[in-house]
Amino acid sequence: MKKFTFSLEKILKLRSHAENDAKIELGRAVSALSRIENGLEAVAAAQKSAGEERFSEGNSLSRALDYENYLQRLDAEKERLLQEAAAAELAVERSREAWLDARAGLKALENLKNRKFAAYRKENGKAQ
């Protein structure tokens, strides 16, 4: 009985490798977005804390102004992070599309290999 060989095995391995690379890139993009979202949460917590402290008793006018400047800096940081988040979301979407394309190409070859193997088994079953 002749051993089953798939003529496109090298291409299948290449596409498998490309799909794995695309999956890793998607993970990196999602991780970057997650870090930005964590930064946004930290800025929101700092804004809340500073907003409460700004008008607490015992603060002088200069201390209140310091808090006001700090809050303005936090607003600028929040805006920068929101812009980065928008760019990161686009990167995640592009990476997801690239991974889905790579996965589709791999799946098509896997299905072809499975059909060829089923035909091989059917043919060898008749021969025996």
- For residue 128, the model assigns a pLDDT of 63
92 vs 49 pLDDT, higher one: 92
Local confidence band at 25 (pLDDT 50, 70, 90 cut-offs): very high
The full set of domain ranges for the chain reads 10-127
Distance CA 92, CA 98 (A): 10
Global pTM value:
0.79
pLDDT 10s digits, 2-18: 888 999 999 999 999 99
The residue among 22, 8, 10 whose CA lies nearest residue 101 is 22
| Angular region, 58: left φ>0, alpha ψ -120 to 50, beta rest | left
Least confidently predicted of 3-7, 34-38, 40-44, 57-61: 57-61
Is the pLDDT at 127 greater than 70? The verdict is no
pLDDT of residue 125: 80
Handedness of CA 85, 88, 93, 99 (dihedral sign): negative
CATH of domain 10-127: 1.10.287.1700
The amino acid sitting at 106 is L
Give the model confidence (pLDDT) of 62-110 as tens digits: 887 888 899 999 999 999 999 999 999 999 999 999 999 999 999 999 9
H/E/C letters for each residue in the chain?
CCCCCCCCHHHHHHHHHHHHHHHHHHHHHHHHHHHHHHHHHHHHHHHHHHHHHHCCCCCCHHHHHHHHHHHHHHHHHHHHHHHHHHHHHHHHHHHHHHHHHHHHHHHHHHHHHHHHHHHHHHHHHHHC
CA-closest candidate to residue 81, choices 46, 118, 124? 46
Examine the pLDDT at 115 and tell me if it is beyond 90. yes
Using 50, 70 and 90 to split pLDDT, how confident is the model at 113?
very high
